[in-house]
């Protein structure tokens, strides 16, 4: 999302002028994180030059194949709120902000970051038909590891940056990838299939492709 207040005439107007810019990032060549940031910056600056084009008009021109299960053009959104929030002062009243849970996620996945008093507060909004809370928690633990690794090794290829903790990586690679199985040598392979069919007669035993 962009504030869409790039003209002096609307800078001080009250109202919402937000527009959505679609970005496609190029990861070809397995760039380092520093190089990737440069690519993102270049793509963003080029996109900002077209920010006055309403997103609805873009959808109208592109005519993407509509699907009620997903938003057109993009499904993941990143929202950085880095502009200072004006302090609302009303004589005789004490005013505070209140977060409202809309109960519905407009996109598959949304990451909102708000900068406040030198810190960043992150809020994740997601489609519960696609993700469960545990998956989102793991996803953003990986995101945090990725950022920490990128800061310390900014020229490493992005593919080499850490997104999984070492203990979990060992469990995924070794514990869940154990394919060795000791079988009795006095039986043939087809006999194991026959035994499995008898134990689970309603299950699919073999798929030939």
The residue-averaged pLDDT of 113-129 equals: 87
| More confident: 201 or 34 | 34
Q: How many CB atoms lie within 10 A of CB 115?
A: 13
Cβ distance 20 to 54 under 8 Å?
Answer: no
With vertex at residue 139, the alpha carbon angle to CA 138 and CA 144, rounded to the nearest 5 degrees, is: 95
Q: Rounded CA gap, 139 and 126, in Å?
A: 12
Write the CA distances from 184 to 154, 178, 180, 188, integer angstroms. Answer: 53, 18, 13, 9
Chain mean pLDDT for the chain = 85
Tell me what pLDDT residue 69 has: 77
Tell me what pLDDT residue 150 has: 94
Three-class SS state of 2: strand
Tell me what pLDDT residue 11 has: 67
Cβ distance 27 to 158 under 8 Å?
Answer: yes
Q: How confident is the model at residue 14 (pLDDT cuts 50, 70, 90)?
A: low
Binning the chain into helix, strand and coil, the percentages to the nearest 5 are 35, 15, 50
Helix (H) or strand (E) holding 111: strand 109-116
Torsion of CA 43, 44, 45, 46, to 10 degrees: 50
| More confident: 181 or 147 | 147
């Amino acid at each position: 999302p962009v504030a869409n207040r790039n003209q002096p005439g609307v800078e001080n107007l009250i109202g919402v002028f937000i527009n959505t810019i679609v970005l496609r990032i190029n990861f070809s060549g397995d760039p380092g994180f520093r190089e990737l940031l440069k690519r993102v910056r270049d793509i963003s600056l080029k996109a900002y030059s077209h920010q006055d084009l309403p997103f609805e008009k873009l959808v109208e021109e592109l005519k993407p194949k509509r699907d009620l299960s997903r938003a057109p053009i993009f499904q993941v959104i990143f929202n950085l709120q880095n502009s200072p929030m004006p302090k609302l002062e009303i004589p005789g009243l004490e005013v505070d902000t209140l977060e409202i849970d809309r109960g519905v996620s407009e996109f598959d996945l949304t990451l909102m970051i708000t900068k406040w008093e030198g810190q960043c507060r992150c809020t994740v909004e997601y489609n519960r038909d696609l993700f469960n809370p545990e998956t989102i928690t793991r996803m953003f633990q990986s995101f945090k590891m990725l950022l920490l690794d990128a800061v310390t090794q900014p020229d490493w290829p992005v593919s080499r940056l850490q997104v999984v903790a070492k203990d979990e990586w060992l469990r995924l690679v070794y514990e869940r990838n154990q394919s060795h199985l000791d079988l009795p040598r006095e039986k043939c392979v087809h006999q194991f299939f026959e035994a499995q069919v008898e134990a689970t007669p309603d299950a699919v035993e073999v798929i030939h492709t």
